[in-house]
Amino acid sequence: MAKSSVSRFRSDMLSKARDVLTETVRSTPLTSAPDAALMFPTLTSAQIARIASHGVTRPVTRGEVLIEGGQTDVPFFVVKAGEIEVIRPSGLGNLLIAVLRPAQFTGDISMILGRPAQMRLSVSESGQLVELTRDQMHDLIQTDAEISDVLMRALIHRRIALVTQGIGDALLIGSGRSAATLRIKEFLTRNAHPFKYLDLDRDADVQDLLDRFHVDRADVPVLICRGAAVLKRPSNQEIAERLGFNERIDRNHLRDVVIVGAGPAGLAAAVYAASEGLDALVIEASSPGGQAGSSSRIENYLGFPTGISGQELAGRAYAQAQKFGATVMIAKGAVQLTCEERPYGVRLDDGATIPARTVIIATGARYRKPSLANLEQFEGAGVYYSATFMEAQLCTGDEIVVVGGANSAGQAAVFLARTVRRVHLLVRSSNLSASMSRYLVRRIEEIPTIQIRTRTEIVALDGDGHLERVRWRDGTGGVTSHGIRHVFLMTGAEANTGWLSGCVALDEKGFVKTGQDLTEQDLAAVQWSLGRSPYLLETSRPGVFAVGDVRCGNIKRVASAVGEGSIAISFVHRVLAE
Ligand SMILES: Cc1cc2nc3c(=O)[nH]c(=O)nc-3n(C[C@H](O)[C@H](O)[C@H](O)COP(=O)(O)OP(=O)(O)OC[C@H]3O[C@@H](n4cnc5c(N)ncnc54)[C@H](O)[C@@H]3O)c2cc1C
């Protein structure tokens, strides 16, 4: 490390004695960490020459700022000679993240995602750099498979390190007992946005920090972005806006395909569309990953013999879609499909309408909610719809209830049984085998801390602020009350088709009918006028497709969602050629 860097790093550490981010101060920058080679590989001279042919090579002098934190249109640099320092700037204190030396390169996944830079990069030793604009860097990774592999691998490892160490431009102050805090944590995590979390009830110094930003305890959760902007109890939309998730997206441009929903089906469609040269936009109401993103471990998806968490699968697919040039709009819901004339339009919850030559409906399904009077009051405060590491942390050592007889409930029970004291698995039917895969039933039966309670359902939830007691009725009709503070509801799903406003034919349960499931009456109702029948996965509107869980007859699995998303693109090509 250059002398200036050492002294800056030390003084930075010292000045943080009372800084709330003290915990995140590292004794070494990431470039000196044991796994540095994964994050900061060195390029061969042949690779550097190939990269240089896409951009310019120029001299730089010490002190030059190459990228400012928050900057959009972030360029990409390879160090030929000299040294670059990567610093997380913020009102909360600067932190040296990395020192890049010859044959190493800059970049973070934000660059691929088209989001603002999180770090400041400056030249700490004069030298020579290769510089590519963001567009040139995109061209490079789309055309040079070898370099793309090296860059993408490094960027993903860097992001994982930032996320796991909470080094980023966002600080969340919340409470483990608040549903809004859990929502924000989930939103940031599922969007792979690194953030530092401080808990009002557990962390010292939080009050100092609240005072420093003139925030009242009642305003929590609070998100402090780039050490300056303070968002009090923000919605996901506000967070996406402030962190620049959708900053570079042109909403007026007519796309070849607009994909609504970024679950496995929508992301697969985006990867195939973009990799095959189509101009694709994905609209996601919440975060990429859909239901799969809320699964702790998917064990039956091809190619992952030891399983993969839904979040990791979604994160990789999201980066892959962006790598090929698909655009993903986050925290924007589609509220209407305008289908009377072509091009079609997808109207968003903020009033904008995105024009589309073809549309893929990939809005999946959401958990059915049991009709319990005060259910909403406990959502996120004792009642959960997903079972990931985050929820597991909230109930470690406690007794919990998992409701449901399908695979998602079984997985949740197995996953949570590792850290909780006891799992009561409540199933309405008289046994599990009708609705759950055999491997899961067997695994559940082998875990002594899981108690299967068949013909049992919850009848009431009680508590003040947080869930404290659960009452259930068993097969005998008797109702008992239990001091249980955590209930995981995994009770089947209904289609997210409310926004389609009668544009396409649905089945009696609200799922979208496609291909051969469409009857003559379905087609007559929308005046199908083409000389051909609807393609596989095509709805009753020409050029509007439905894939994944939202589609009637779909097998509700990650693999089938991914398969359908990718197959749909071949039919999109045919429609565009018509
Ligand atoms: C906890 C859990 C565990 C599971 N485990 C497994 C497993 O191990 N193996 C397996 O094969 N399957 C598993 N499944 C099932 C699997 O996750 C689903 O079949 C799969 O996610 C379906 O993908 P999809 O893209 O069709 O829909 P979804 O995953 O439901 O994604 C739909 C997306 O559309 C978005 N959306 C909805 N409405 C709108 C709108 N109006 N505008 C914009 N966006 C919208 C949603 O926010 C969501 O992100 C699990 C499901 C759950 C819930």
Q: What is the pLDDT of residues 185-199, one digit of tens each?
A: 999 988 889 998 998
The pTM (predicted TM-score) of the whole model is: 0.81
pLDDT on residue 303:
92
Pairing of strands 487-489, 383-384: parallel
pLDDT on residue 443:
93
What are the φ and ψ backbone dihedral angles of 67, each rounded to 5 degrees?
-140, 135
Summarize the confidence of residues 273-299 as an average pLDDT. Answer: 91
The residue whose CA is least distant from atom 30 of ligand 1 is 364
Give the distance (Å) from ligand 1 centre to CA of residue 409: 15
Residue 154 to residues 43, 180, 255, 364, Cα–Cα distance (Å): 11, 33, 31, 32
pLDDT > 90 fraction of the chain, expressed in percent and rounded:
61
The distance from CA 108 to its chain's CA centroid, rounded to whole angstroms, is 16
Q: Is the CB of 408 under 6 A from ligand 1?
A: yes
Higher per-residue pLDDT: 543 or 115: 543
Q: Residue 510: pLDDT above 80?
A: yes
| Atom number, ligand 1, closest to the C-alpha of residue 294 | 1
Q: Is the CB of 411 under 6 A from ligand 1?
A: yes
Contact (Cβ atoms closer than 8 angstroms) between residue 288 and residue 310: no
Of 111-115, 130-134, 379-383, 491-495, which one has max mean pLDDT?
130-134
Summarize the confidence of residues 274-285 as an average pLDDT. Answer: 96
Summarize the confidence of residues 39-64 as an average pLDDT. Answer: 96
Query: If pLDDT is split at 50, 70 and 90, which confidence band does 3 have?
Result: very low
pLDDT on residue 200:
86
Q: Give helix 45-52 / helix 145-165 axis angle, nearest 10°.
A: 100
Q: Is the CB of 386 under 6 A from ligand 1?
A: yes
- Which run of H or E residues covers position 389? helix 389-394
Q: Is the CB of 549 under 6 A from ligand 1?
A: yes
Give the distance (Å) from ligand 1 centre to CA of residue 547: 11
The residue whose CA is least distant from atom 48 of ligand 1 is 290
β-strand partners of 290: none
Give the distance (Å) from ligand 1 centre to CA of residue 408: 11
Q: Is the CB of 556 under 6 A from ligand 1?
A: yes
Give the distance (Å) from ligand 1 centre to CA of residue 106: 34
Q: Is the CB of 262 under 6 A from ligand 1?
A: yes
pLDDT on residue 90:
63
Give the distance (Å) from ligand 1 centre to CA of residue 307: 17
pLDDT on residue 373:
85
Q: Which of 25-39, 251-265, 451-465, 515-529 has the lowest mean pLDDT?
A: 25-39
pLDDT on residue 110:
84
The residue whose CA is least distant from atom 13 of ligand 1 is 557
Q: Is the CB of 499 under 6 A from ligand 1?
A: yes
List the one residue out of 5, 209, 230 whose CA is nearest residue 95: 5
- Residue matched to tokens 């790093």: 9
Contact (Cβ atoms closer than 8 angstroms) between residue 313 and residue 301: yes
| Atom number, ligand 1, closest to the C-alpha of residue 549 | 26
Contact (Cβ atoms closer than 8 angstroms) between residue 19 and residue 92: yes
**Burial of residue 420, with CB atoms counted within 10 A of its CB: 0-12 exposed, 13-18 middle, 19 or more buried:** buried
What mean pLDDT value characterizes the chain?
Answer: 89
Query: If pLDDT is split at 50, 70 and 90, which confidence band does 17 have?
Result: very low
Higher per-residue pLDDT: 241 or 5: 241
Contact (Cβ atoms closer than 8 angstroms) between residue 320 and residue 271: yes
Q: Residue 19: pLDDT above 70?
A: no
Q: Residue 18: pLDDT above 90?
A: no
pLDDT tens track for 206-228: 888 788 778 888 888 999 887 77
Query: If pLDDT is split at 50, 70 and 90, which confidence band does 29 have?
Result: confident
| Atom number, ligand 1, closest to the C-alpha of residue 548 | 26
pLDDT on residue 92:
57
Query: If pLDDT is split at 50, 70 and 90, which confidence band does 27 have?
Result: very low
| Atom number, ligand 1, closest to the C-alpha of residue 551 | 26
Q: Is the CB of 322 under 6 A from ligand 1?
A: no
Pairing of strands 76-88, 120-132: antiparallel
Query: If pLDDT is split at 50, 70 and 90, which confidence band does 328 have?
Result: very high
pLDDT > 70 fraction of the chain, expressed in percent and rounded:
94
The residue whose CA is least distant from atom 12 of ligand 1 is 557
Token readout for 411 is: 């997985």
State which of 282, 291, 500, 504 you would mutate to test the pocket of ligand 1, scoring each by most atoms of that ligand within 8 A of its C-beta. 291
Summarize the confidence of residues 114-123 as an average pLDDT. Answer: 90
pLDDT on residue 150:
95
pLDDT on residue 91:
57
Summarize the confidence of residues 254-273 as an average pLDDT. Answer: 98
